Amino acid sequence: MCLGVPMKIISREEDTIVAEVDGVKKEASVMLLGEDVAVGDYVIVHAGFAISKLDEEYAEETLRLMKEIFKPEDMA
């Protein structure tokens, strides 16, 4: 199963960002986005690409729900 995960941008250099969620950092391209993003913005990252920009409140609520649904003990 593949999921696009909301992540917060922590750095950007041209079309490449580094985004983070729960201490996990991923590099992704912003070439598919139709809007500008900056450090501090939230994006959905999937397969190495930022595919959508998210409102901070929506991103944080989505992450909260994902943590509730995908509990570590359920993954073992």
Are residues 36 and 45 in contact, defined by beta-carbon separation less than 8 angstroms? no
CA angle 12, 20, 33 (to 5 degrees): 50
Round to whole Å and give the CA distance between 18 and 9: 6
Q: What is the mean pLDDT of the chain?
A: 90
DSSP state of 63: H
| 3-state SS class at 12 | strand
Domain extents in the chain: 5-74
Query: What is the CATH code for 5-74?
Result: 2.30.30.140
pLDDT digits (tens, 9 = 90+) for 17-52: 999 998 999 999 999 998 899 999 999 999 999 999
Position 34 scores a pLDDT of 86
Position 4 scores a pLDDT of 82
* CA distances, 4 to each of 11, 50 (Å): 19, 9
